[in-house]
Every structure is written in structure tokens, then in C-alpha cells.
Amino acid sequence: MRRVAAAAAVCALLLTGCSADDGADSGRIRLRFQSLAWQDESVDANKDLVKEWNTSHPDVQVEYVQGSWDSIHDQLLTSFEGGEAPDIIHDASDDLADFAYGGYLADLSGLLPERLTSDIPRQSWETATFAKGVYGVPFLQEPRVLIANKKILDSSGVRIPTAGKPWSWEEFRQVTKTLTEKMGEGKYGVAWPLKEPVSATLNLSLSTGGQVFRRGADGKVEVRFDAADQVVPRTINAQVNTDGSASRTTLGSGGSDTLPGFFGGKYAMVPLGFSYRQQIVQQAPKGFEWQVLPAPAGAGGLTQGVSPQTLSVAEDSPHKKEAAEFIDFMLQPRNMVRLAKGDWMLPTGTKALADPALHTEKEGWSTGAALARDLRSAPAQSVRGYPEWKDKVATPALQEYYSGAIDAAELENRLVNDGNLVLSRYQR
């Protein structure tokens, strides 16, 4: 019996101090800001800004809460359902549609100041606009760029592209062939990290005028795979299966997985998101020279699809006005620059984007900044049923096509026929 009593005592002791602490102060507004910043500099920038706000706004105190990209959708969904969502929510625009249509997010249309609404370009606002309501403020975005081994490129004699004069997709294919021939056995002009092939393919296809999803006059969306949609997939397929100028093994890799081979001189170029530069700066061997090149262009120029990072306000928040004021503070041009530099991304705000710190040659900032005006809403993000189409139809079909297991006709058959069957269920 003594043992049972001791166990109960230990149990009671362990539970001491486990009770709730709501920390409510009378008369003082408390807002919870859930940030997804994760890189050291980015977390510091966010925390510093929260601290600055709290110092200058004693009556509206903001609590910084660290979230995680890995599980944000499930976590927010549960929080919304339970009425416990953070007041201010950091997320990506392609995750907002379900929450916006579900009535979980506040329409910010009347809450944001003219300064902010006019500073961010229309195409960026489109990424967070659903059914005419604005459910997030897009503030950071990143284009896909080509990170290149400078020595290999310079010694090969190929033309170095610029944002003003980029490679066409056909020229890009030729360049990778040339590079592969000059680099020798077991080395490749490009390594495509296509573990997640759908968004990369769709977003880059905007440069060739590809749409894939077409919305009809009745508002219904259908999948098509016209010539303009096929340029990017056909180029990648040809590089892997016809020219041998793209590594087959990296097709199943994530971006980070290709970096050791890139640093080791196995690949001359890797198409990556702009923010990967931070990893390259950290991990590249001493003396390794690299440069940032624009992704190839087509009939649509340098246009690319992106899903910017956003700040939203929960519909259940009793302090929407104050939350919107905090967002306005966070996204003042100088603060937007701090956040952009912390995340190695580009700000959406035109004033922030004009900051000289984002136009230096060093680490490719100027190339990225030159691409910003051509970034558009990712084609899929407002399409209901897209996640299912992506997971069940497009991902396996593109993976098989890129590896050479199926041909273009079969790819088209699956993307269009199987895809439209999926979408039709969401559009009845």
C-alpha cells in the first residue's frame, strides 16, 4: 500500500504546475502571432519586430508563437474548428483557399491601410484573393532560378543569360547538352530535383504561356495540356531521356539533396527556389564560385507562378483591427526588407523591393529582384480539387514521364482525362 501511495504522490507532484495559464491582463489586448519563420536570421527578424511593436504599443501586446511549415495546415484546421486559432497567421497563399472558403479567415479588404494595399502589386494580391475577399497579405515570394557553377559555365563558352536576355527553353536544352559534353563522363549540365514535380512544372510552364487549368465562362475549371503546356515537360524529358544532359537520379530528390553533387562539380546547374542560396552560402566548399541565373523564358517571357508567404487574421479574433495594424507595422517597407533578407526571399512590396540591399550582385540578389515583376499567382492555387489531382494523377504521371516510363501521349491522357474526372467531383 505504501508503494501505491508513493506512486500517487509522485503523480500528484508531476502534475503540479501543469494547469492552464491564460495570462490575460485586464484592459490590455493580447494578440497571438504564429510565425513560420525558421531560419536563424528570419526568426531573429520576426522576434525583433514583435519586440519593437510591443515597446511602442503597450496596450496591444503581441505574443510570438513559433509554428512549423511541416504541419501548419492540420494544426490550423484543428485550431479553427476548436475556436483557438492564433489572431495573426503566417502561411503560404496556396494553403489559404480552403480556410478562406471555410470562413475561418477574416476578409482584410476594409482593414488594411491604403499605404499597404497600393504598395503590393495587383498580381500579388490575386494570390490571396478568393471570391472577391482578401484573406491574406502576400509579403514574401521566391522565383525558381538556376543556380550555376560559375567556373564550369565560364569555361564552357556558353552565353550567360541575364534577366534582360534569358535563355529560351530550346537554348537551355542546347546549353545543357554542350555542358554535359564538355564536363565528361558521369557529369551533367543540369540536375532537376523533382521530388515534387507538379508545382515546379506548372509554375515554370507559365513562362511558355502554359495554363494547364482553364476556367470557362461558367466558372468551371478544366485541365488541358496544349502545346504551350507541354514545352517545359518535354524539355525536361528530352534532357533526361534523349540528350542525357540531366541526371536521372535526382528526379526523385529534393532541392537540398542535389547540393552535394552540385558542390562536387557533378552538375553544372540546379534549378532551385531563390531562398536555397542560404544553404549554398552555408554549405559550399571554400573557393566554390556560383551564380544565380534566371530560369529560361518562352512565349510568356520570364513569368513564373509563385505562392507567396502571407499574413492573415483569424475570423474568430476579437481584435481584427489591431491585428491588421500589427500586420501593417510588420510590413512597413524597411521591415519587409528585414524579413526578406532573413528568409533570403523577395518582398512583394514595391518600396521594399527597391531597397539597394536587395539589388547587390552578391549572392544573386539583383537577378532575383529583376524577376520579381514577372511573378504571378501559381496556376493551381485557386482550383478546388487541385490537391487530389496533384497527388493522385499529376505526381505519378509526371514522375513516370520524366523517367521515361510513359510517353507524352500517355501523360496527356492521364493529366487531362483522369484529371478532369477528379476536378468534376469538386465542381458539381
Minimum CB separation from other proteins for residue 345, in Å?
Answer: 10
Which of residues 121, 273, 387, 396 is near other proteins by CB under 8 A? 273
For residue 38, the minimal CB distance to other proteins (Å) is: 5
Query: Counting contacts by CB under 8 A, is residue 1 touching other proteins?
Result: yes
Figure out which of the listed residues 29, 61, 73, 75 binds other proteins, where binding follows CB under 8 A. Answer: 75
# residues contacting other proteins (CB under 8 A): 57
256 touching other proteins, by CB under 8 A: yes
* Min CB(92)–other proteins separation in Å: 7
Binding of other proteins by 318 (CB under 8 A): no
Instruction: Tell me: does residue 329 bind other proteins (CB under 8 A).
Output: no
> Which stretch, 107-115, 221-229, 263-271, 403-411, contacts other proteins (CB under 8 A)?
263-271
Applying CB under 8 A, which of residues 32, 182, 341, 351 lies at the interface with other proteins? 32
Window contacting other proteins (CB under 8 A); options: 81-89, 216-224, 383-391, 396-404: 81-89
CA 75 to chain centre: 19
Q: How far is the CB of 42 from other proteins (least distance, A)?
A: 9
Binder among 24, 26, 27, 82 for other proteins (CB under 8 A):
82
Taking CB under 8 A as the rule, does residue 43 contact other proteins?
yes
Among residues 74, 114, 185, 218, the one that binds other proteins under rule CB under 8 A: 74
Q: Is 249 in the site for other proteins (CB under 8 A)?
A: no
- What is the rounded end-to-end Cα distance, in angstroms, of the chain? 66
Q: Is 9 one of the binding residues for other proteins (CB under 8 A)?
A: no
Binding residues for other proteins (CB under 8 A) = 1, 3-4, 7-8, 10-11, 14-15, 18-21, 32, 36, 38-40, 43, 63-66, 68-71, 74-75, 78-79, 81-84, 86, 92, 195-196, 254-256, 259-261, 263-264, 266, 273, 275-276, 279, 282-286
